[in-house]
Each structure stands twice: as structure tokens, then as C-alpha cells.
Chains A and B, each alone.
Chain A
């Protein structure tokens, strides 16, 4: 009589990927598609504005912003590592730095927009450049905001002592999102400030 494979030879359920991470990766894939469409629209409309300010005339390359945002990817990675080793203080500190860097980025973007709107007279309605610029950069900024809200919540929990090494998987999932936001900025930066200018 044939004896079927016995259980020991089978894969252990523990080998299945963490569902939080899988879910987050799926979300990121979906979001990337959204961004691609906006990027495509941006690329398609480069140079097609019929009137109003052109990118060359008004855009300045936001070096500081970019540096801040990209380095925040590093800091959040450091905090991920810290929590994995259950170093709560380090974790909280690096998380704080990440939040600070993200906030600087947001303020910088706000400042840039302020200048564009009140100084250069470029609004969403002005021309195709305005339309695509504000929507693409705004889309990214809205993701930064959502990310920041979540990071701040996490930070508050950490400060009140509700976080421990056991949560590190969830924190990594959140960090994944933040990495994604940073990576998207690279694309947005390339498209808006390098190709588009």
C-alpha cells in the first residue's frame, strides 16, 4: 500500500512570507502604477504649454529637499535595525530624525509652491506645466504626508513605551512604505527637475 508523503517533508508554514510585507509590496506595486500614469502625463506634456511660465524660467532644483528626503531612507533603516536588536532608545532617536528630515522636505516643498504661486504666478490652472507639475509633485507630497502621519504615530507610541522588538516586523512594513516614497522622489526629481527643465 502506498504511503503518501509524510508531514515532515513538507514545507513549514513558518517559511511563508510575512503577510504584512506581502501586502505592503502589493500596495507599492499598485501605487507605482498610479505614479507611472502621472509621470507619463508629465513627460507627454513637457514643452506643450501654450502660455504662462515655462519650467526653465521658474523651477529651481531643490537640492536640500532631495538630500533630506533621501537621507531619511538611511535613518529609517538605522531605526529598523535598532528595533530588531531591541534598542529602543536608538530606535526612537533615528525615527525622530527621519520625521524631522521628512518634515523639512515638506516645508521645502511648501515654500517652493508658495514662491511659484505668489511670485511666478504659476497655478494649477495656468497652463499644462502648472497642471502636471502640481499634480505630480502634489501626489508625491501627499504620500509624504501620509507617511509622516504614520511615522509620527509610531514615534508617539515609542515615546510612551508601547513599542518593543516584537513589533519589528510591522515597523519594517511601515519602513518599506517610506522607502517607496523616497524612491518615487528619485523618479519625480529626474522627471521634473532634470528631464523637464
Chain B
């Protein structure tokens, strides 16, 4: 079987068109492309760009908080920094990154030639891109035309009535609402596309219970996106009606309600965090089995758990609002619904551990990131449980403990998992392997930096440090913790630098990867690296969850056991 050969792909690294074209044509090719792979790459590059931007903002935050009574930036600038940091990381980094992965991988994994709606796909990307540019334009344009205000500065959840005309003159709030309105449509388009692709574009034999778990999780994420992004869009429309046409939705002086904004935001906001984390699960679900040399443990349970998370997560939003004075029964209800999420997520964590159990773990860089993802997620989930116990949350709410909790998920789990994904699929995308040595440096530095920052940020939270403070007093006893956290931040910065270097260097000089460098099992590895425009010369037909396993072990296929 050594030369089991398939005509399902082709190795065609330099299409003539590209090789001969001028730079202008090359650029033209990228802006007019409707190819899901190119759009996926664009998404990821865009997201990485904003990771740098949002990271730079985080560094400014960390420098400012390094010492008590620091004056590195003014309070106004600080407020812009954390607002833009949060907004950027969630909307311009997190979501595009996951849609980038989805775009590139879902069609390949299900054996399709493209997304269901290739042109909509392009539209979605460009809406996201232009929306992000519009948001950042506020740094210059927000000030220039109307005097007051610049970049948005009232926190990423823009609580009313601080966002009404009375308290936020200028256009900062409008920039936030309108540019995210634009990206919102892009996101919706991408979600529709992914769902339709997974449902309607599967190759022969690819039943729903055979698609890779990654596709399942992206299906879940996209479904959640459909019902979660749209409430935000609606709320933004209301906010703009208030601000431009004098409506009173959130205008407390005319009987409007500040609380209802909070509800609307978190009806979006909580599912949003699962939108971000589910693809991270998906990436782990691909990488952990391959590097453990075992199939994912409990596929069906994983699918059920993901679907369960989607539904439960729609009913827990008010755990961000335990302190707004809901009735005790409501507090109890949201405590319960929040804690229940631990059950399906627990299934996932256990299944990952069980997948590794008894395997042959090979710790290449992708696996390093994926394996630590599991612990980080475990820990952050447990701090989440602490927050969901509402009496304790009355203390912890809006403190640095919350900051630590969600960075543990957002950085420790999501960024780690996405980095794992980048290391894992980079050879597929570029045809070249990423440098292992640099990768290990990146991993260890980032790990150390991450733990220095976010482990220690739990403590000032317990010591009563609220978030959104541009400075604090020395006597509060928060200084040393913040110092440690800042140092950790700089280490993360350094590590990210190595990563960027690794990307550039390996993209140009990395070792040839070949179609299947990791000895993996899903369809994307059955075509050349990088895949041709049409993905598969012949439409693949599959008979199990691991088509490439079947090929590699023809005498011992999965088909008999599923």
C-alpha cells in the first residue's frame, strides 16, 4: 500500500497566471477573488493584523497600570485603549480569525470545491474589512469633523445611558455602533455561508455524522452567530435612532431604560463568547487526535455537547448582570442555567483527555498549543463557575478577577488553540512547514508570559481592584500584582514577535511540507499543499469519519466500526 495513489489533487505551486502577472494583476487577483481559500487567507491575515493592533493597545494598558499613580497616558486615552482593545480583539481579531479558518477548511474537509455562495463570501469578508477600517478611522476622523470625541471610549459593551447624546457628545459611540453594524452583516453572511456549505455541499458519503468535528463546531458557531449577532445589530440600530433621530430607547430622561440595553447587549454578548470558543474547540478536536494517533473519543457525545452548548448558551446572558438588582428568583435561575453549561463543556474536556489517554503523544508545536489549551480552558471554566455563583459574583463582578477569567479563555484557550491551528495548517496553506525551533520558543515564551499576566491578575480582583481604572493608589496593595502582569504582557509581546518572524521566515524558507506532513486523517490532507483552486480534481467519496485512515490502513478501516 505504500504507493496508494489518488488523482484527487494536483501539485501546482505556481500557476502560470500568477508567475507571469504583474504586481497589479496579482493584487487584482486578490481583491476580486471568490475562492474560499484565498478569502480564508485574507481573513486570517486581517485577523493577525488586528491581533497586533489590539495587542499594542493591550501593551499600552499594561504600561499604564504597571505602577500606581502612573501618568503614561491620560484617562481619556486609557479609556479609548481598553474599549478599542476589547472591540478589536472580539470583532476584528476573534471572529475574522475563526471565519478565516472556517473558510479555508470547511470546504476542504467536507470534500467540496468551494463555499455555497462564493460571491457572498467575498462580500462578507470585505464588509468585515471595511467595517474595521471605519472603526479605526475614528482615531483621526472622529475628531476632525465634529470637534469632540475620537475613538470609542465607553467600554466594549457601551452601557446606556453613557452612550446617549447627553453623556457622549461627538461621534465616538456612532463609530462604534455603525462600524460594527457593517461588520455585523459581514459576519451574518459568513455564518449563512458556512451553514449552507456544511449542509448542502458535502461530498458523497459525507453524512452529517461523518463530517470532521471541526465542521460540526463551525456549524454550531455559525448557527449561534445567526441568532446572536443580529440582536446586536438591532440594538445598534436602536442606539443610532436615539442618537440621530431623537428616539428614546435608551434615553433614561424620557422613560427609556438603561437596563434593556444591558439585556440586549448580553443576549448578544454571552453567545458571542461561545461563538469565539467553539471554533477553538474544533481546532483542538482536529489536532489532539492526530497527535495522539487516536480518533476523537466520543464523537457523538462531542456533537451532542456542542449542540447542547449552543442552546444553553442562549439562556444564560444575565449572569453578566447579577448586580443590576434582578429578583432573587431570576438570579437563582441564571445561576443554574450558567452552571449547567459546565456539563456539556465538561464532556468535551473529558473527551479530550480520553483521546490522549493511551495514545502516542507527539508534542510538535501544534500539539503543545492544543494540549495546553485544554488545561487553560479547564481553569478558566472553573473560574467561570466561581463567577456564576451569584453571591460571589456580587463581589467579583467587574473586578480584575473577571478580566483574568475571560482572558484565560480568550487568550489561554482561544488564542492558544488558534495558534495551534495556524501551526497545524500552515503547511497546507503555504506548502511549507513552520520552523519547529522558533515555534517552541514562541510557545514557551507565550506560555510564561500568559501565566505571569493572567494568573496574577486574579489576585487584585480579589483585593477589590475594579476594571476600567486608568490608575490606582499605592496603598491599595495592587501594585506588585500589576507589575507582574505587565511584565508578563511584555513577554507575550516578545513571543508574538517571534511568531510573526516565524510566519514570514517559514513562508519563504520553510521546508517543503508535502500534502500530508502530520500523517493526518481528514480530507484536506488528501490534496496537494497548497491545494489547487478546485481543491479536488475528482470529487472524493468517503465511507467513514477518517477517510485518510481508511486509505492508509486498507485492511483495518474505520468503516467497520462506526
Contacts and interface: CB of A to CB of B under 8 A. Distances in A.
Interface of A: 1-2, 4-5, 7, 10-13, 16-19, 22-23, 26-27, 29-31, 33-34, 36-38, 40-41, 44-45, 48-50, 124-125, 127-128, 130-132, 135
Contact of B200 (A2, A18, A27): A18
Of A1, A34, A127, A135, the most chain B CB neighbours within 10 A belong to: A34
B305 interface: no
Interface string B248-267: 11000011110010001001
A128 B204 contact: no
A125 B247 contact: yes
A33 B1 CA distance: 53
Interface string B84-113: 000000000000000000000000000000
Interface of B: 116-117, 120, 188, 191-193, 195-197, 199-205, 207, 226-231, 233-235, 237-238, 241, 245-249, 254-257, 260, 264, 267, 541, 543-544, 550, 554-557, 559-560
B541 to A, nearest CB: 6
24 contacts: A1-B555, A2-B555, A4-B543, A4-B557, A5-B559, A7-B205, A10-B205, A12-B204, A13-B203, A23-B196, A29-B227, A33-B231, A33-B234, A34-B234, A38-B238, A41-B249, A41-B260, A50-B254, A124-B247, A125-B248, A127-B254, A128-B256, A131-B248, A135-B237
A11 to B, nearest CB: 6
B204 A7 contact: yes
Nearest to A125: B246
- By secondary structure, the B interface counts as helix
Contacts of A13: 202-204
- By secondary structure, the A interface counts as helix
Contact of A127 (B248, B544, B559): B248
Contacts of A26: 191-192, 195-196, 226
Given A10-B204, A44-B257, A50-B255, A19 B543 contact: no
B199 A22 contact: yes
Contact of B201 (A11, A19, A37, A38): A19
Contacts of A37: 230-231, 234-235, 264, 267
Of B196, B205, B544, the most chain A CB neighbours within 10 A belong to: B196
Nearest to B263: A40
A17 B195 CA distance: 12
Contacts of A11: 204-205, 207
Contact of B543 (A10, A31, A135): A10
A89 B85 CA distance: 59
The 9 A-B pairs with the shortest beta carbon distances in the complex, nearest first, are A125-B246, A37-B234, A33-B230, A19-B200, A10-B205, A131-B247, A26-B192, A30-B226, A19-B116
Given A17-B200, A23-B196, A31 B230 contact: yes
Contacts of B241: 124, 131, 135
Contact of A33 (B120, B203, B226, B246): B226
Given A4-B550, A11-B207, A49 B255 contact: yes
Nearest to A131: B247
A162 B389 CA distance: 63
Contacts of B554: 1-2, 4
A130 to B, nearest CB: 8
A129 to B, nearest CB: 10
A29 B226 contact: yes
B196 A22 contact: yes
B245 A125 contact: yes
Contact of A16 (B188, B193, B199, B556): B199
Contacts of A30: 188, 191-192, 226-227, 229-230
Nearest to B195: A26
A41 B238 contact: yes
Nearest to B550: A4
Given A10-B543, A34-B233, A135 B238 contact: yes
Nearest to A52: B254
Given A4-B543, A125-B246, 9 more contacts: A10-B541, A23-B196, A26-B191, A33-B226, A37-B235, A37-B264, A45-B255, A125-B248, A127-B254
Of B120, B193, B241, the most chain A CB neighbours within 10 A belong to: B241
A60 B229 CA distance: 34
A22 B200 contact: yes
Contacts of B120: 23
A20 to B, nearest CB: 8
Contacts of A36: 231
Given A16-B200, A37-B231, A131 B555 contact: no
Contacts of A2: 554-557, 559-560
Contacts of A7: 204-205, 541
Contacts of A44: 257, 260
B47 to A, nearest CB: 22
A125 to B, nearest CB: 4
A153 B245 CA distance: 32
Nearest to A5: B543
A85 to B, nearest CB: 25
